[in-house]
Structure 1
């Protein structure tokens, strides 16, 4: 291939060699495709077969109804349906009996999704104090990561893809360019501003400290740190973010099973709502395109403010 021929990062093919199927796959993020493929593998391992007939899907649903959370079953069904669509087979999800069986599982078990605990401001401060007791390099990285994810309300995929070149310093703090995110799969780019904090736990200063200690001047900002406090060359893996959050809250004496990598983002929204920050300002940070998700957090905060009638 001529080095001047444009290619896609996921496929490595010249544009003129890409098929309609390649472009259709490119419409979904690589991480989404990996998760879909993982779901399909689990489906087969648990007794499913591809292509799946409605009878096979009904048998699988009956088998896993007592083993998996309904939300997990639903996600794997969607992935299996996507596999059939991409490979030219009719989807078993369109079958009336499959729909009725899944509906019955929902009525029996419930379809409520598990929600993680938000890492709200006061808990975050306690977690940061605990994190700082780690070895210097790990403490600096984890503090910068947690503060950035909280103050910019970042998802883990956005956080691990921040590069040094994407950071612009100014008198009020820093700007981050998010080259691609969950709500920006086309890669148009989003700018997120992080201001200096008034308190001692400042995300801008924490990021600067991590950059100084690590010596990272180009490339991905957050990288692995081994047990000897040595920095790796590759960017931090998405799954590692969840482990870092769980380890950090455990150090602070919190129940790690209740937290995940989404807890920092959820913590910002919950803390902002509790501080009565206007909804438009919260959405400006979170980059929500719709308000439905934000309203869920606000309803919880509003309910907690309701005074007892007794």
Structure 2
């Protein structure tokens, strides 16, 4: 029997008592049971920590990893290296990672970035039934101190929210070609259904869309398999009304989509292809429409559809609970931030100086 290929570190370690077929089934179970975005993050983080250790210690990852390595990883990512001397080992390591395109700058990474990479490293150890060094008291304390030392206001995921007026400017750039029909449907669905994430938009299949009530009531129902805040099978249906529903139905008819991915690439000859649109394509679409509308390409990102929906809901006086029914925010605190920004701008106490 051929030797079984060792699984990736984010897949379960081989069990001697399992047959090769059962082991492959277990790995497949982990892949199917893990959100696609999480698997993607695992792969990126594995590439990063592997390159970091190779540059820092000229050696491969150990399983389990040494506590001293875990501490060094935290220390290297807990300070700004711009002022560090050129011979500083942390700076040399960071420069090597920048050269490989794995790190953007010598600036101290955001605490959330460090937390995510450590969480991935922890997950790799769990998959191998090993104890992670990041769980030891000293490393846990160092991690807590690093988080506090590097604390700063979180950068917005989109420079500006795409509120209704901005959305209207983007929609005016969508004229009559199939690409325009698709982009209009994407923008309107992404905004009007509660501010959908890129992966949620591109993950939609034709069978996830019900147009049975469109002719009589003007409603289109969406069934998301899962979102960042919900699990498979427990995501409530979402509804599109009015222009958003019309735009989506028009796209389905124009593209003649009867099954398979809902949103697809379009060739230069304006022909609809069969494969799924990638999440990165949503970023490119927003960037392209901003440019056509005469706005800076970095004015907003796809997350601006989500933040713009909630900001507009606050501006229009919609109850936050109603907005959350569509946005599917799990945390009231998180959704409240968009309402707070609107409320404080309208607070009469802010006008006391005149």
Cα deviation code 1:161-214 (max 9, x no counterpart): 222222223213211122332233232453111111xxxxx2122112222322
Q: Counterparts of 1:71 and 1:252 in 2: how far apart (Å)?
A: 33
Q: Counterparts of 2:32 and 2:254 in 1: how far apart (Å)?
A: 38
Which residue of structure 2 lines up, in the alignment, with residue 126 of structure 1?
169
- Is the counterpart of residue 162 in structure 1 residue 194 in structure 2? no
SS of the residue aligned with 1:193?
strand
1:261 CA drift (Å)? 2.3
- Is the counterpart of residue 81 in structure 1 residue 122 in structure 2? yes
Paired residues of 1:71 and 1:111 also in contact (CA < 8 A): no
Which residue of structure 1 lines up, in the alignment, with residue 88 of structure 2?
none
Paired residues of 1:158 and 1:178 also in contact (CA < 8 A): yes
1:232 CA drift (Å)? 1.8
Which residue of structure 2 lines up, in the alignment, with residue 57 of structure 1?
70
Aligned residues: 290
Paired residues of 1:28 and 1:185 also in contact (CA < 8 A): no
Q: So what's the TM-score if we normalise by structure 2?
A: 0.74
SS of the residue aligned with 2:261?
coil
Look at both structures and tell me which one has the larger radius of gyration over its CA atoms: 2
SS of the residue aligned with 2:265?
strand
Matches within 5 A, 1:1-310: 17=22, 23=29, 26-47=32-53, 49-51=61-63, 52-65=65-78, 66=80, 67=106, 68-115=109-156, 116=158, 117-130=160-173, 132=174, 136-153=177-194, 154-169=196-211, 170=213, 171-196=217-242, 202-307=243-348, 308-310=351-353
Distance 1:94 1:112, change over 3 A: farther
The root-mean-square deviation of aligned C-alpha atoms, in Å, is 2.6
1:300 CA drift (Å)? 1.3
Distance 1:43 1:205, change over 3 A: same
Q: So what's the TM-score if we normalise by structure 1?
A: 0.83
Task: Give 5+ residue unaligned stretches, structure 2.
Answer: 1-10, 13-20, 55-60, 81-105
1:24 CA drift (Å)? 5.6
Distance 1:21 1:230, change over 3 A: closer
1:267 CA drift (Å)? 1.0
Q: Counterparts of 1:39 and 1:279 in 2: how far apart (Å)?
A: 35
1:143 CA drift (Å)? 0.9
Q: Counterparts of 1:216 and 1:77 in 2: how far apart (Å)?
A: 42
Q: Counterparts of 1:306 and 1:141 in 2: how far apart (Å)?
A: 40
Q: Counterparts of 1:61 and 1:253 in 2: how far apart (Å)?
A: 43
Paired residues of 2:290 and 2:299 also in contact (CA < 8 A): no
SS of the residue aligned with 1:186?
coil
Task: Give 5+ residue unaligned stretches, structure 1.
Answer: 1-9, 197-201
Paired residues of 2:46 and 2:120 also in contact (CA < 8 A): yes
Paired residues of 2:185 and 2:251 also in contact (CA < 8 A): yes
Q: Counterparts of 1:250 and 1:92 in 2: how far apart (Å)?
A: 48
